[in-house]
């Protein structure tokens, strides 16, 4: 399996090279698959920095920067933020973190995101974690959690499942063909799921380099 050590290091906005060759793990899973909880566990146990594309976009909007205003306007108009914009935010966050191990959560959302990320950064993920969960279970979890999310109603939930399947499954298939996907049965209780995650990240497994 190709490792991140084989690819070029990322550049920051000033063009200077980062000497670290970062380890990138993409984290994918449907809404309610529990990937957020598992990301927290990975950070705590294995020292990764967690980057969420959605959080970075929201933070940029909140900052009031010119870039943030452009992002906000695009979202208001129902347009998709260009991949390059999201990737530059991810790249900048990687630079600023000082770490060399990253969990990128909920990205790439589709094949175009994936191709753009590799083209812009020169980085391929070492592993793609796919939290595979039955739709009925994800539905049950989303409806029962109390986070005050207005989008957690049955109709919206089903639309989100459909979008996830249509957009993300091709990404998972692509990385499966490269032997990078680690599929985890996320229907089980949190502790059992994390046991499977630990087996992937533990140094003895040699699966994440």
Q: Give the residue numbers of the binding site for a ribonucleoside 5'-phosphate.
A: 58, 79-81, 106-109, 149, 160
Are the CB atoms for 107 and 117 separated by under 8 Å? yes
Residues forming the annotated binding site?
32-37, 58, 79-81, 106-109, 113, 145, 149, 160, 188
Closest among 198, 34, 199, 39 to 131, alpha carbons compared:
34
Are the CB atoms for 109 and 26 separated by under 8 Å? no
Give residue 190's Cα distance to chain centre. 19
Cα torsion 106, 71, 110, 169: sign: positive
Q: How far apart are CA 56 and CA 85, in angstroms?
A: 11
Residues forming the annotated binding site for ATP?
32-37, 145, 188
Residues forming the annotated binding site for CMP?
113
CA atoms within 13 A on the CB side of 18: 25
């Amino acid at each position: 399996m190709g490792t991140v050590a084989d690819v070029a290091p990322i550049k920051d906005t000033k063009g200077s090279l980062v000497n670290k060759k970062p380890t990138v793990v993409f984290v994918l899973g449907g809404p309610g698959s529990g990937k957020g909880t598992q990301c927290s566990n990975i950070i705590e146990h294995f020292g990764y920095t967690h980057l969420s594309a959605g959080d970075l976009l929201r933070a940029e909007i909140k900052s009031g920067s010119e870039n943030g205003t452009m992002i906000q306007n695009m979202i208001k108009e129902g347009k998709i933020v260009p991949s390059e914009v999201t990737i530059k935010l991810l790249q900048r966050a990687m630079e600023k973190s000082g770490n060399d191990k990253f969990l990128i959560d909920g990205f790439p959302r589709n094949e175009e995101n994936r191709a753009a990320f590799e083209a812009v950064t020169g980085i391929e993920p070492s592993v793609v974690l796919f939290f595979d969960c039955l739709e009925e279970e994800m539905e049950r979890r989303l409806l029962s959690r109390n986070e005050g999310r207005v989008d957690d109603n049955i109709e919206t939930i089903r639309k989100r499942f459909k979008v996830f399947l249509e957009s993300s499954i091709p990404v998972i298939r692509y990385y499966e063909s490269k032997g990078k996907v680690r599929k985890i049965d996320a229907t089980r209780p949190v502790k059992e799921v994390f046991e499977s995650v630990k087996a992937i990240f533990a140094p003895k497994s040699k699966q994440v380099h």
